[in-house]
Amino acid sequence: MKSRKVEPPDGGYGWVVVMSAFFTMGLTAAVLKNFGHFFIEIQNHFGVQASTTSWVTSTTITMLHLGAPAASAMTLQFSQRVVIMLGGLLATLGMVLASLDLSLPWLYLTMGILQGTGLSFSWISANSMVSHYFVRWRPIALAIASSGECVFAVMFSPFFKWLIDTYSWQGALLIIGGLQLNLCVCGALMRPLEKTTSPAQDTKDSLDATTLPAKRMTFFQCSLMRKPEFFLYILFAIFSAAGFFIPPLFLVPFASSLGMDKYWPAMILSVLALADLAGRLICGWIANMRLVRNLQLLTMVATLLGVVLLLLPISQNYWAVLVFASLYGFLFGCVVAIHVTAIVDIVTLEGFDSGLGLFMLLRSIGGFTGPPAAGWLVDYTNNYSVAFYFSGVCLIVSAAFVVLVDRLVHRRREAVESQVYCAINQQEDWETAKAESDTVT
């Protein structure tokens, strides 16, 4: 029996991987999404401005992105299982040390660098594992996995608020760190895909079929940046990241500035997370139906998301804020559901791990500058509305880059299809001519 390369199973144990990724997303991205509950507590505790406090979250977001190439390279060298478990240990260590409350720079180091690196290792590896287990069902599989962020965010929003009120924000960080240790369990469930081989290998071809793909996937492909469509997609990543992380950070302070009771803003975040969940699942389902190209769909939802954020500050009461927050959550979920899948459309599955690492690394430029810029605008104007205006403009600009990417990718595919069509016609003409020659002979 000859050796062979295992194809993505598109099911089976892959669904266990999806559920493990579901919990991984909850213990990483959902925790980061609820950092807004600690914003005012930390600001009041240290007596600093909003822009200074926002550097805690900004550092976490930056390390989430900067750690991506290292996470991708480690998954290629070792396995996603090992990297997820390492990420869980780093995230837990970051939160436990942050609970010591030594100083604000100490929070930059612990909640920022250690926590952010741990989130990066676990998040990147979980997405990589799901992508390699699925082909046909990849969009919906990634949507289900990423929806763990939303489900856990619904539960974490009031839970974190209760933890802060009961145990103080320092005690809340300690407990959250203990929860994140469960990332090691999620990593243990990530069974790597293996190449199957026969004990007796018959031919050199069977050996090559097993070993050559592994060698190709060992190296991190920085050369992807030479592709113009991928470079433009990186620009989309930078501008979208600049706007992505601002609303969750400033929505609670904005709602509080309107005079709402302290638990109402927490409920808004829970409703936002439910809308986010619906957006991910619905958009993942639409993408799986192939009604439009993934990049076309991404352009539409990113543009609408920017428009909603520009309109959100007109809200002056709880129900208006709730409606716009729900729209924001739904469209945010739509963007998240397909922006990772679209990387495969641009660089193919073989370059996905490296592409995702570069995508996250360079997106950190936007994630690092966006929240502090919004915080500076809030300090300068003494108005939380400007943070949402800034976020909306960034997302609309990012959608323009996706339009260019879609055109380049579509033209490239048309050129490839045209070449294949010509090759087939030439082959048919050659076979017809040969048949006619044989008949005459």
User: Cα(84)–Cα(373) distance, rounded to whole angstroms?
Assistant: 32
**What are the extents of the domains in the chain?**
7-192, 218-431
DSSP string, 115-143: HHHHHHHHHHHHHHHHHHH-STTHHHHHH
Is the Cβ–Cβ distance between 191 and 176 less than 8 Å?
Answer: no
pLDDT for 82 equals 92
pLDDT for 413 equals 77
User: Cα(182)–Cα(189) distance, rounded to whole angstroms?
Assistant: 11
| pLDDT tens by residue, the chain, 441 residues | 444 455 667 778 888 999 999 999 999 988 988 887 887 788 888 887 777 777 888 788 878 878 888 888 888 888 889 999 999 999 999 999 998 988 888 998 998 899 999 999 999 899 888 888 887 888 888 888 988 887 888 788 888 889 998 998 889 999 999 999 999 999 999 988 765 444 444 433 333 333 333 333 456 677 788 888 889 999 999 999 888 878 877 887 787 777 766 666 667 777 887 888 888 888 888 888 888 888 889 999 999 999 999 998 888 777 888 888 889 989 998 998 888 888 888 888 778 778 888 888 888 788 778 888 888 888 888 888 899 999 999 999 999 999 999 999 888 877 766 666 666 766 766 666 666 666 655
Is the Cβ–Cβ distance between 98 and 38 less than 8 Å?
Answer: no
CA-derived radius of gyration, the chain: 24
pLDDT for 154 equals 78
∠ at Cα 366 (360, 367), nearest 5°?
Answer: 70
Is the Cβ–Cβ distance between 276 and 29 less than 8 Å?
Answer: no
Name the amino acid, one letter, at 316.
Answer: Q
Identify the burial level of 104 via C-beta atoms within 10 angstroms of its C-beta, where 0-12 means exposed, 13-18 middle and 19 or more buried: middle
- Name residue 373's beta-bridge partners: none
Identify the burial level of 275 via C-beta atoms within 10 angstroms of its C-beta, where 0-12 means exposed, 13-18 middle and 19 or more buried: buried
pLDDT for 214 equals 39
| Right CATH for 218-431 from 3.40.190.10, 3.20.20.140, 1.10.3720.10, 1.20.1250.20 | 1.20.1250.20
Name the amino acid, one letter, at 308.
Answer: V
195 phi, psi to nearest 5 deg: -80, 135
b/e sequence 252-270, b meaning 16+ C-beta within 10 Å: bbbbeeeebeeebbbbbbb
Phi-psi region of 303 (alpha: psi -120 to 50; beta: other; left: phi over 0): alpha
Name the amino acid, one letter, at 108.
Answer: Y
Q: Give pTM, 2 decimals.
A: 0.70
User: What is the topology classification, in CATH, of domain 7-192?
Assistant: Growth Hormone; Chain: A; (1.20.1250)
CB under 8 Å to 39, separation ≥6 — which residues? 50, 53, 54, 57, 249, 252, 253
CB under 8 Å to 186, separation ≥6 — which residues? 20, 21, 23, 24, 27, 84, 88, 122, 126
CB under 8 Å to 402, separation ≥6 — which residues? 233, 236, 295, 298, 299, 302
User: Cα(131)–Cα(391) distance, rounded to whole angstroms?
Assistant: 29
Q: Using CA atoms of 398, 402, 404, 407 in order, give the dihedral in degrees to the nearest 10.
A: -170
Name the amino acid, one letter, at 424.
Answer: I
Identical fold for domains 7-192 and 218-431, yes or no, is yes
Written as six digits, the tokens of 163 are 């933890």
b/e sequence 291-321, b meaning 16+ C-beta within 10 Å: eebbbebbbebbbbbbebbbbbbebeebeeb
pLDDT for 200 equals 41
Phi-psi region of 382 (alpha: psi -120 to 50; beta: other; left: phi over 0): left
User: Cα(338)–Cα(355) distance, rounded to whole angstroms?
Assistant: 15
pLDDT digits (tens, 9 = 90+) for 387-409: 999 999 999 999 999 999 999 98
pLDDT for 69 equals 84
Of the CA atoms within 13 Å of residue 102, those in its CB half-sphere come to: 11
